[in-house]
Amino acid sequence: MSYCINPKCPDRQQPDSRTVCAACGMALLIQGRYRLLRPLREVDEWGPTDIFAVDDRGTRKVLKLLKQPKLLPLFEREATTLQQLCHPGIPHVDLDGYFTVTTPKGKELHGLVMENIQGQTLENWLAEHGTADSTLAQDWLRQITEILGLVHQNQLFHRDIKLSNIMRRPDGQLALIDFGTVRQMTGTYLAKIGGKRDVTSVVSPGYTPIEQINGKAVPQSDFYALGRSFVYVLTGQHPIDLEEDASTGQISWRHLAPHVPPWFADLIDDLMAPFPGQRPLNAEEILQRLERGLSGWRQRLSPQGVMRLLLAANLCLLLLNLAVGWHWLQRRQSPAASPISTLPGLRSHLTTARPRVHDLSLSHC
């Protein structure tokens, strides 16, 4: 079956044999190449966008269809961003992947066709497999940080990092999706937040930092959401469900993940610091801290590290034995150590009256 692209069509499911919708007269082969197959999420009449699986001359892709013209600037920004960024962790969009079509009643529809990333979101992965161990979480953090590094290098920031926007491919590689809220770090934007003028804010409860809620998002706002995401990965608890310190905004999570090495927990806490200036400056700093932490951990677990630990333990045992031996010797040489010395009268009597017994007792000792 084919699916009509017209949101107002009374009968959107059409036979594959048709090239024009029998219900509304809309072309079913869009731009001469894209045929809609089915919705990838429930079609919402009031939602700003719909998502469809499409066939592009034999290749399965994803179509994002904009239905609300007021969001066109954000939609065009997403298209431009995905066209200019080239990374296996970012959905690929062809240069002609953005298009506009008009319905029979004259309504403009804007579409964006992108790579269909196979796999599942980390949110779905977590629901299926439970919490990730530290090793897997560290690998995931490295992958997403590398992707964010590319985004930030292009003077962009995502503004909606969360587990439902991170895909895990079947080979274990991660991809960051939904660039619909991406923002460019331009002079105009900086002037707006500096002058306290209105800037559209994007809020995902539990993930969004206070400066972004106030319309003053910066690249470090992505790091805050990234830290919150990995608390979710390591604890299985949504950040919004965790206790929060009312004075600092910090969430209490370490007791739920005692398996996490302290250096890694410290890094995650720094990502979630209340103020942007307290967070890592850039993606490179995060990657460096990951590498230092992993190198130190590997060194402690390497054969050389284990040998050093064994040598240190043996040295401690030797020192303990020496201390115990010295203490025993001191007590042995002390006059108070002899039972006879505690009875001076008896010792004198034995010495004068029964020298043989006294000599025998000494030789026995």
Phi and psi angles of residue 319, each rounded to the nearest 5 degrees, phi first: -65, -40
Q: Please identify which of the residues 50, 139, 160, 269 carries the catalytic annotation.
A: 160
Contacts by 243-247, CB closer than 8 A, 24 or more apart: none
Q: What distance in Å separates the CA atoms of residue 56 and residue 36, rounded to the nearest whole number? A: 9
Beta strands in 71-182 (DSSP E): 98-102, 108-115, 120-121, 156-157, 166-168, 174-176
> Quick one: how far is CA 324 from the chain centroid?
51
AA letter at 334: S
Task: Report CA-CA distances (Å) from 255 to 133, 226, 259, 260.
Answer: 15, 20, 9, 10
3-state secondary structure at position 142: helix
In the block, which residue shows the tokens 């919705």?
39
Contacts for 299 with CB less than 8 Å, ≥ 6 apart: 305
Contacts by 105-108, CB closer than 8 A, 24 or more apart: 105/8, 107/8, 108/69
DSSP-derived pairing of the beta strands 13-14 and 2-3: antiparallel
3-state secondary structure at position 292: helix
3-state secondary structure at position 326: helix
3-state secondary structure at position 280: coil
**Is residue 56 annotated as a catalytic residue, yes or no?**
no
Q: What distance in Å separates the CA atoms of residue 4 and residue 155, rounded to the nearest whole number? A: 37
How many of the other CB atoms lie within 10 Å of CB of 188?
A: 8
Q: Report the largest interatomic distance among the alpha carbons of the chain, rounded to a whole angstrom.
A: 134
Show which residues are catalytic.
160
